[in-house]
Structure 1
């Protein structure tokens, strides 16, 4: 697993603090909130102060715990029925790509929608009038797609053991620059140090993987430009 997972954006974290307090039946300490959101306690103290300054009715104090005053509700998000359905279809399509963290994030988006859209749209979320097939992609066993996406964002190299279509296993170090999701397979677009070229690797053919400390940040822009130049317009 990759260390140092990027933290939530602050706006997302503030929203999650409100949602966590809304769902709790007892006061929550800064330590409990910090553990849930994977941040430092001092970050929670700052965030609570920010929310209180924005007139969010959070009551409590350090060392005792915090509660959200009953009756508080977030203002409704202004989505049309078509926009809500587009988000729902997209969130369900994410289930086909076998990326557990991305799947969880998609369901979290729907949970947030249910809490914030007006009542007439909540019924649409509760009883969708569509179905998305499960897809045929194989869940990868030798690599975690969450790690891949983090390595792409942080420009970290990955060591992989890869089995090609002839059944030959090779050890490679790659510089991952993008993930490509198809219905039946997910690919990693990367610079391969073994082949000294850009390559696409099927995640279901990765037997083992390890995210390295080595960075390719200085080359990331050039590699991305070179890869994009090879893609259909």
Structure 2
């Protein structure tokens, strides 16, 4: 294991523990000496990682530390490229442009050998299908999700009948042929999904919905997916 890989493993190990973990326990799990552990902890701190603790007390990583691109492994770069390619080819124009910008930013800060790995990734996303066109601005939907804002829509169901809805959006699902907004529907009193090609006039309110987005996501997972409308 290279030193960079060892530092990455130590960082990920600290992230898994929310409470202080002892130095000997960290060293045993990583298969290194306690002296090497202390040097690695000092190296991570020098790179900006807020690691609290001392010998005999244990160590804990405070949130907020961003892993330097230098620490990315070749497999992680392949995973990143695959994900960015998928988003670029299949997401809405706003996210597709962001994926391209992100790739350029990452390539610009990677060391030369890692940048070459990124430019010649071994993983490739297959050709996308062409999803039905969105009838709503998904960038605005993402903003509503982040701000917990109610959206008022006219929705056309499978039978062609349209209904007025007030929804609490919490996610967007991207599929090969269609995109879906996952939301709590006030009319139906439950979680539903709404195809973006069937949404008619839409009004983005400034009204915050009362539920926590994380709770809606938890409920969705418990129900094993979204119920159709």
TM-score range, shorter chain: 0.5 to 0.7
Q: Judge conservation of contact 1:96–1:136 (CA < 8 Å) in 2.
A: no
**What's the offset of the Cα at 1:227?**
2.3
- Is 1:99 paired with 2:92? yes
TM-score, with length taken from structure 2: 0.61
TM-score, with length taken from structure 1: 0.60
**C-alpha separation in 2, matches of 1:218 and 1:114:** 39
Which secondary structure does the structure 2 equivalent of 1:77 belong to?
helix
Q: Judge conservation of contact 1:96–1:137 (CA < 8 Å) in 2.
A: no
Aligned to 1:149: 142
**C-alpha separation in 1, matches of 2:149 and 2:91:** 22
The answer for unaligned runs of 5 or more in structure 1 is 1-74
**What's the offset of the Cα at 1:201?**
0.9
The answer for unaligned runs of 5 or more in structure 2 is 1-67
Q: How many residue pairs align between the two structures?
A: 158
**C-alpha separation in 2, matches of 1:96 and 1:165:** 27
Q: Deviations over 1:161-189 (max 9, x none)?
A: 21111122222111112222223322111
Matches within 5 A, 1:75-224: 77-138=70-131, 140-218=133-211, 220=213, 222-224=215-217
Q: Deviations over 1:4-61 (max 9, x none)?
A: xxxxxxxxxxxxxxxxxxxxxxxxxxxxxxxxxxxxxxxxxxxxxxxxxxxxxxxxxx
Q: Judge conservation of contact 2:153–2:166 (CA < 8 Å) in 1.
A: yes
**C-alpha separation in 2, matches of 1:222 and 1:128:** 37
